[in-house]
Amino acid sequence: MRAQLPFIDLGLRDGSNSTASVDVWIRPGSAIATAQAGAGVLAARVGALSQAVVFRYSIVYRSVEDPRPEPAFGSQIARAGVFVFAGSEPDTYAVLSVPSIRTDVLMTEGPGAGVLIDLEHPAVIAFQDAIINGIYCNPFGVDLAVLETAYLQWRP
């Protein structure tokens, strides 16, 4: 992997609901707290210059494969695996989508054949373990506890 410089992406919206963004790169090795503080300062300064309003910011740390790998023949981004995780608090969930899901992780028998993802497949178990035991949470900060279900969905 080759890391690119991290950047702050500010989203702006005007009176017609059109959107645009301002991207500003930040020094490599900047701590996330420093980047967040910088995003707040940048949003205030850009907001003072623009008639549009800043409605979001993102801090992006991006890496790219080098050399760039070739995708498998026949892979389709729109064929997604949707994984529904229950949170550690009652009635909390997170949905993760994996583009171009491999067909060999789909159930081959029964009423869910070709649609449901096999929760016992070794690659699915490894993914579930990585998500549950990693740093990941739902959008509200609730830890993910268990993979409830997974299925194929076409996302054009």
Residues 61 and 25: their CA atoms lie apart, in Å, by 10
What are the tens digits of pLDDT across the range 70-121?
999 889 999 999 999 999 999 999 999 999 999 999 999 999 999 999 999 9
Which residue pairs from 37-41 have beta carbons closer than 8 angstroms and sit at least 24 positions apart in sequence?
A: 38/8, 39/8, 39/10
Enumerate the domain spans of the chain. 2-64, 79-154
Please give the Cα distance from 144 to 128 (Å, whole number). Answer: 10
Cis amide linkage into residue 67, ω under 30° from 0: yes
Q: Is the pLDDT of residue 156 over 90?
A: no
What global pTM score does this model have?
0.77
